[in-house]
Structures are given as C-alpha cells and as structure tokens.
C-alpha cells in the first residue's frame, strides 16, 4: 500500500510534471493568443489579456470590416482543389508502384521522393514566371498547381504504404473471379484503403490551407488566402492585437480541428510507412 | 473444378495480349502523375537553373541576356550572401539538435504510462498543424517589446532588468526565431521517436532488468539502438524541412533588423520579390540547393555506416 503510494508520487514527479511543463510550453503560446483574442481592445494594454471581461467583439469586427469570409472561401477552394488533384493523380500511380514490377520502378519511386527534398525557393521563382506567361497569376488554379508540386509526391508515398498493407492475394482473388485490373483496384483495393486515402486527403488539405509563400507570390487582389490575409492584417492593424490574434485563431482553427480528428491514423501512416492489413 | 478450367482457358487464349498489357499497364497508370510532375516540378527546376545563367530582371522583361556564371560570381562576392550562409549554418545547427533533444525527452515521457497519456499525445502535436503565418503572428505578439508576455514573464522572475525588444535587437533576433522554430518542429520528432520506441519489444527490457541492467544502461543499450533508425530519418526529413521553412522568418522579421535574420532561402526570395532580380535570385537558390544536397549526401553516408 505504502509502496504503491510512493511509486505514484514518483511517477507524478518524474513523468506527469515534466510532461505538464512540456505541454505548457507547447500550448502556452496558442492559449495566450486565444486569450488575447477574446480580451477587450480598450483594456488589453492597460490590464493585459484577461478572461473576466471576455468578448467576441474582435471576431465580429474581423468578419464585418476586414472581410475574412472571402479569404476563408479562397482558402477552401484552393485546398479542396489541391486535394482533388493530388488524390486523383496518385491513386493509379500508387497502385502501379504497389502491385507491379517493371523496369525503372526504383528510379521513378526515388524521383517522387527526391522532389520533396528540393527547396521551395527553387520552385517559386520559375512558377511565378510560368504563371505570368500563362496569365494564371491571381487565380485559384495557379495556387492549386503550386500546392500540387508537394501534394502529388506526398500522396503517392502515403498511398503506396497504405496499399502495401493490403494483401495482393485479395486483388488476385478478385481477378480470378473475373474482374479486370482496374475493377480490382476500384472494387477491392480502394474501399480497403479508404481510411488511408481520407487521412492523406486531409493532410493535403491542411498543408495547402497553411501554405503561405506560394499564396503570397502567386495570389493577389482576387485570390487572397487566409494566410496572406492574416499577414496583411499584421501590416495594417499593427497594434490592434485583439483583432490580429482573432485572425490567427480563425486561420488556424480548421486545420487544427481536422488534424486532431485524423492524427492517429495519419501518424501511423507517416511513421510506420505501412498500415497493417 | 470450375476454377481450374477457367484459369486454364484464360492462359490458353491470352498469352501474347496479356503479356503486352501487363507490360504497358503500369506505365499507363503512372503516366498522369509522372507527366504532371514533369510539367510542374522538373520543368520549373530546369528553368531556375537556366534563369540563373541569365541577366533577368522582371521590370525589364525584354532583356534576357546570357551572362554565364556572372550571377554566381556576384553572389560569392556579395557580403550579404556570406552573412546569410553563416546564419543558415547557425540556424540549422541549433534548431535541429534542440528539436531532436526536446522531441526525444517528450517521446520518452509519452512512452511511460500515466492516466492522461492519450490526451497529452493528441495535444503535443498541435504546433505542427498550425499555419506558419499564425505561428509567426503569435510569437511576434509574445516577443512584443512593450506588452509581450516574454518580457513580462522574465521581468517578474527578475531575470532581466528592463524590457528587451527581442525581434528588433540584432543580437537577440536570430535566437528568438530559433526558439520559435524549435517550438514549431519538436512535436514531429516526438511523434516519430515515440513510434520507434513502441516498436521495441518489451521482452528486451524484461530480460535486461533480470540481468540487473540499470535504467541508464537499458536506455543506452536497448532504447537508443532501437530508435536510431527512426532518428536518422527524422533528422534528415527535418533538415530538409527546416531548410525550406523561411516563411516563419519572413513574416516575423522579413530578414531584419538589417541582415540579422537573413538566411539563404530568404535572401533568394527577397532578391526576387523586392528587387525583381530573378536571375540573381535563381543563382542563390541554386547555390543553396547544391549546399543542401551536399549536406544530405554527407549525412546519409556517415549515418548509413553508423546505423548498419
């Protein structure tokens, strides 16, 4: 009994408390931002952020005067478009990598890995020139294309690992029963790796939603995503921290919620490289 | 019985057509993805290399003059290039070890059993999911020289005598940004290492403690070898990722004050964006990429030996 109590105390000292400290460091800035965003602008600088006179005034101002709704819509279009492009192009490619042996397979696989390793700054300049020539600057399409440079290789890698987790014997059984390859892919493999596809899609959505440099360079007056809008706020409302932090919270919220929803599956896909079938 | 006849019939009528289809099918399935990446990744990359060999300033769109390696020579004689390179080295050599260490500690803690472990594991990852602009915004607010909570906190603890303008002071700006980037990236290490820890069989530890090995020796001889593979991969991915992520710096300080927080990718981006000098910007981007590739190759060579 006494022993049990002592080891609990020991656990609290060596595990719970350090963990709490790390969590405080992790979440502190975020909570501080939230607290500032619900503080009254007039008392913010005299008394500091506080929870006692909480107000949503900053949020209403954000949507009424700054026009954040349009920016949210732009971000939504770009992120959804990138998910659609990224997933549709990579499903068949991932299946080919997962199920066939062919000449050049290793090189091609490696190529998709290497793409992710090149610095973004190497791509952003030529993409700007390219979009200017094509007249695509300041359109959703330009941003979707730019985000796809990351999304396609990433989702191919994720999906190959999910598909490798599905036994080959399943599609062979389907083909013995008279399915063609494509039918086996559509009716057997895809439904089985649907959870993985959804997780990959959500990850692409989050990264495109959070993307800033392409949005800044290739966007403009018509297409201004939420990240660019937040950054513009910093310039325009320099000292109005209540409004600024409200913008930050709104900008971060969709990604945070989505991420918490799928983090378990996503992390297992990212870290193990394969999901058990 | 029916099964047998079916497969038999198949293999009799199909061989040539099926063999051909088998050979072509994978390429057909791959071609959309490959063609698109060729168009939007490889073609632009080649174009960067091409632009770096030209005099190309965007406000004189008709001038696209071949200058050979002139842009590279200018870069190597440019003081700002060397300042940026030095900052890049400091930035990478402090951010990544700090992230690794903090991530390792976090992962070891998360691998213990305590009642609220699932909650802690879900919350720890939040910084990783936040947009870099929002991260920059909240840390600018924290570092604010008049009302920032960092000053308030340190003043109350008596660690500093008067408020410090963290981001406006050239001596503290880079360190402040490194702290922010560490905060942003360590959860990634924690999650990766935790997965590695969980793949180590419990029986190893049981056997070791029966043999009387201390906790420290268990860590040194079982835990570390068990997660070394994961750590090597995580460091590699982070190096590339951190090298890429100049967006936080760009929003927080824009490289300032002066050149105090310039890094190479930021330098290339600013050159192209504000000076519209795409030739020179491309040259810096190419130089940076080559340096990064060199680091990655050396790293893979050394760790490849160490791990195996």
Facing residue for B134 by CB, picked from A120, A241, A251 = A251
For residue B97, what pLDDT is reported? 93
Range of the domain at A257: 67-272
Give the Cα separation of B295 and B297 in Å (integer). Answer: 6
Least confidently predicted of A12-26, A230-244, B174-188: A230-244
Q: Which CATH superfamily is domain B76-307 in?
A: MetI-like (1.10.3720.10)
Residues of A in contact with B191 (CB under 8 A): 267, 270-271
Q: What percent of chain A has pLDDT over 90?
A: 13
pLDDT above 70 coverage of chain A, percent:
91
Closest CA to A141 of A213, A84, A188: A84
In chain B, whose CA is at the least distance from the CA of A152?
A: B33
Residue A101 lies in a domain: yes
Burial of A18: CB neighbours in 10 Å, binned 0-12, 13-18, 19+: middle
Residue A1 pLDDT: 46
pLDDT digits (tens, 9 = 90+) for B241-296: 887 778 889 988 888 788 888 888 888 888 888 888 888 888 888 999 888 888 88
Residue A209 has pLDDT above 70, yes or no: yes
Determine which of A17, A21, A29 to mutate to test the interface with B (most B C-beta atoms within 10 Å). Answer: A29
Q: Do A32 and B149 touch (CB under 8 A)?
A: yes
Give the pLDDT confidence score for residue A3 in this predicted structure.
55
Token code pair at residue B3: 């099964």
For residue B112, which residues of chain A lie inside 8 Å, CB to CB? 11, 15
CA distance B107 to A209: 28
pLDDT at residue B258, rounded to an integer: 81
B 166-185 near A (Cβ less than 8 A): 183
CA neighbours closer than 13 Å in the CB half-sphere of residue A234: 21
Q: Given pLDDT bands bounded at 50, 70 and 90, which one contains residue A4? A: low
Residue A75 lies in a domain: yes
Query: Measured between CB atoms, does B44 come within 8 Å of chain A?
Result: yes
Query: What is residue A21's predicted lDDT score, i.e. its pLDDT?
Result: 92
Within 10 angstroms of residue A276's Cβ, the number of other Cβ atoms is 6
Q: Is residue A28 part of a domain?
A: no
pLDDT at A275 over 80: no
CA distance A162 to chain B (A): 17
Phi, psi of B55 (to 5 degrees): -85, 110
Nearest to A277 by CA among A193, A166, A158: A166
Tens of pLDDT, residues A102-150: 888 888 888 887 777 778 888 888 898 889 889 888 899 999 999 999 8
- Closest residue in A to B273 (Cα–Cα): A217
- pLDDT for the residue numbered B31: 87
pLDDT at residue number A270: 61
Helical H segments across B38-114, by residue range: 43-52, 70-77, 79-110
Contacts of B289 in chain A (CB under 8 A): 118-119, 122
CA A32 distance to own-chain centroid: 23
Residue pairs between chains A and B whose CB atoms are closer than 8 Å: 240
User: Which of A24, A121, A228 would you mutate first to test chain B, the one with the most B CBs within 10 A?
Assistant: A121
Task: Mark residue B130 as left, alpha or beta (left: phi above 0; alpha: psi -120 to 50; beta: remaining).
Answer: beta
**Contact between B125 and A267 using a beta-carbon 8 Å cutoff:** yes
Angle between helices B149-157 and B132-143 (to 10 degrees): 40
Q: In this complex, is the C-beta atom of B102 within 8 Å of any C-beta atom belonging to chain A? A: yes
CATH of the domain at A71: 1.10.3720.10
* pLDDT tens digit sequence for B136-148: 988 988 898 777 8
Is the confidence at residue B179, as pLDDT, over 90? yes
Q: Which range, of A75-84, B61-70, B194-203, averages the lowest pLDDT?
A: B61-70
Contacts of A156 in chain B (CB under 8 A): 33
ipTM value: 0.84
pLDDT: which is higher, A46 or A178: A178
Nearest to A125 among B120, B144, B278 (CB): B278
* CB-based contact A121 B288, cutoff 8 Å: yes
Q: What is the pLDDT of residue B306?
A: 63
The pLDDT confidence band at residue B9, using thresholds 50, 70 and 90, is: very low
pLDDT band at B105 (very low <50, low <70, confident <90, very high): very high
Whether pLDDT at A272 is above 60: no
Separation in Å, CA of B259 to nearest CA in chain A: 19
Each residue's pLDDT tens digit, B39-92: 888 888 888 888 888 888 877 767 777 877 878 888 788 888 899 999 989 988
pLDDT at B16: 66
Neighbour count for residue B221 (Cβ, 10 Å): 13
DSSP state of B167: T
CA distance B265 to B246: 7
pLDDT of residue A143: 93
For residue A220, tell me if it sits in a domain. yes
Q: What is the pLDDT at residue A140? A: 92
**Residues 243 through 302 of chain B touching chain A, CB cutoff 8 Å:** 243-244, 246-247, 250-251, 265, 268-269, 272-273, 278, 281-282, 285-286, 288-289, 292, 296
Nearest by CB to A119, from B29, B112, B288: name it: B288
The pLDDT tens digits for A168-196 are 888 888 888 888 888 888 888 888 888 88
Is the pLDDT higher at B51 or at A53?
B51
| Separation between Cα atoms, residue A235 and residue B164, nearest integer Å | 22
- Write down the pLDDT at residue B10: 46
Which of B54, B138, B184 is the mutation pick for testing A, counting most A CBs within 10 A?
B138
Residue B269's alpha-carbon distances to A102, A131, A210, A225, B292, in angstroms, are: 40, 17, 19, 20, 16
pLDDT at residue B7 in the model:
43
Q: Name the residue ranges covered by the structural domains of chain B.
A: 2-52, 76-307
Q: Percent of chain B, pLDDT > 70?
A: 92
Q: Which residue of B has its CA nearest to A15?
A: B109
| Number of structural domains in chain A | 1
Q: Is B54 helix (H, G, I), strand (E, B) or coil?
A: strand
Q: What is the pLDDT of residue B98?
A: 93
Q: Residue B213: phi, psi to the nearest 5?
A: -75, 135
Q: How far apart are CA B89 and CA A259, in angstroms?
A: 32
pLDDT band at residue A38 under the 50/70/90 scheme: confident
Cβ-contact A29, B139 below 8 angstroms: yes
Q: Which residue of B has its CA nearest to A119?
A: B244
CA distance B211 to chain A (A): 22
* B263 phi, psi to nearest 5 deg: -125, 170
User: What is the pLDDT at residue B2?
Assistant: 41
Dihedral (CA of A89, A94, A99, A102) sign: positive
Q: How far apart are CA B76 and CA B157, in angstroms?
A: 46
DSSP strand pairing (B54-55 vs B65-66): antiparallel
Per-residue pLDDT of A232-242, as tens digits, reads: 888 777 678 88
């Amino acid at each position: 009994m006494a022993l049990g109590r002592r080891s609990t105390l020991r656990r609290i000292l060596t595990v719970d408390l350090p963990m709490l400290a790390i969590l405080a460091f992790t979440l502190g800035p975020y909570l501080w931002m939230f607290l500032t965003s619900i503080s009254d602008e007039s008392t913010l600088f005299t008394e500091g952020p506080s929870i006692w006179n909480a107000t949503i005034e900053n949020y209403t101002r954000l949507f009424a005067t700054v026009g954040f709704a349009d920016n949210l819509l732009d971000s939504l279009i770009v992120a959804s478009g990138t998910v659609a492009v990224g997933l549709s192009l990579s499903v068949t490619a991932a299946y080919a990598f997962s199920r066939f042996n062919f000449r050049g397979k290793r090189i091609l696989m490696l190529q998709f890995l290497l793409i992710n390793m090149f610095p973004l700054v190497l791509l952003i300049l030529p993409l700007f020139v390219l979009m200017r020539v094509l007249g695509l600057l300041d359109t959703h399409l330009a941003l979707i294309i730019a985000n796809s440079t990351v999304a396609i290789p990433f989702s191919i890698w994720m999906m190959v690992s999910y598909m490798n987790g599905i036994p080959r014997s399943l599609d062979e059984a389907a083909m013995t029963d008279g399915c063609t390859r494509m039918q086996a892919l559509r009716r057997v493999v895809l439904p089985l790796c649907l959870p993985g596809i959804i997780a990959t899609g959500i990850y692409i959505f989050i990264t495109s939603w959070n993307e800033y440099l392409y949005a800044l360079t290739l966007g403009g007056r018509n297409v201004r995503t939420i990240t660019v809008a937040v950054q513009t706020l910093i310039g325009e409302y320099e000292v109005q921290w209540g409004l600024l932090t409200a913008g930050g919270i709104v900008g971060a919220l969709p990604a945070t919620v989505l991420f918490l929803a799928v983090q378990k599956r996503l992390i297992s896909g990212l870290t193990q490289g394969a999901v058990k079938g | 019985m029916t099964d047998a006849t079916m497969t038999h019939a198949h293999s009799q009528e199909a061989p040539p057509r099926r063999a051909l289809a088998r050979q072509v099918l994978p390429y057909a399935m791959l071609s959309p993805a490959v063609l698109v990446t060729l168009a939007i990744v490889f073609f632009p990359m080649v174009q960067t290399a091409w632009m770096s060999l030209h005099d190309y300033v965007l406000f004189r769109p008709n001038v696209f003059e071949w200058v050979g390696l002139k842009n590279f020579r200018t870069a190597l004689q440019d003081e700002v290039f060397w300042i940026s390179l030095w900052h890049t080295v400091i930035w990478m050599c402090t951010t990544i070890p700090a992230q690794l260490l903090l991530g390792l500690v976090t992962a070891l803690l998360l691998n213990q059993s305590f009642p609220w472990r699932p909650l802690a594991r879900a919350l720890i990852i939040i910084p990783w999911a936040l947009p870099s602009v929002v991260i920059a915004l909240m840390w600018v607010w924290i570092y604010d020289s008049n009302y920032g909570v960092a000053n308030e906190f340190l003043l109350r603890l008596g660690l500093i005598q008067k408020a410090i303008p963290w981001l406006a002071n050239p001596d503290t700006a880079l360190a402040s940004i490194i702290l922010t980037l560490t905060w942003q990236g360590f959860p990634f290490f924690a999650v990766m290492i935790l997965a590695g820890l969980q793949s180590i069989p419990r029986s190893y530890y049981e056997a070791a403690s029966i043999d009387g090995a201390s906790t420290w020796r268990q860590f040194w001889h079982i835990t570390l070898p068990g997660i070394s593979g994961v750590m090597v991969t995580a460091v590699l991915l982070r190096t590339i990722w951190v090298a890429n992520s100049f967006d936080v710096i760009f929003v927080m300080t824009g490289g300032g004050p002066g050149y105090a927080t310039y890094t190479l990718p930021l330098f290339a981006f600013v050159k192209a964006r504000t000076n519209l000098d795409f030739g020179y910007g491309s040259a810096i981007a190419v130089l940076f990429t080559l340096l990064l590739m060199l680091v990655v190759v050396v790293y893979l060579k050394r760790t490849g030996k160490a791990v195996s």
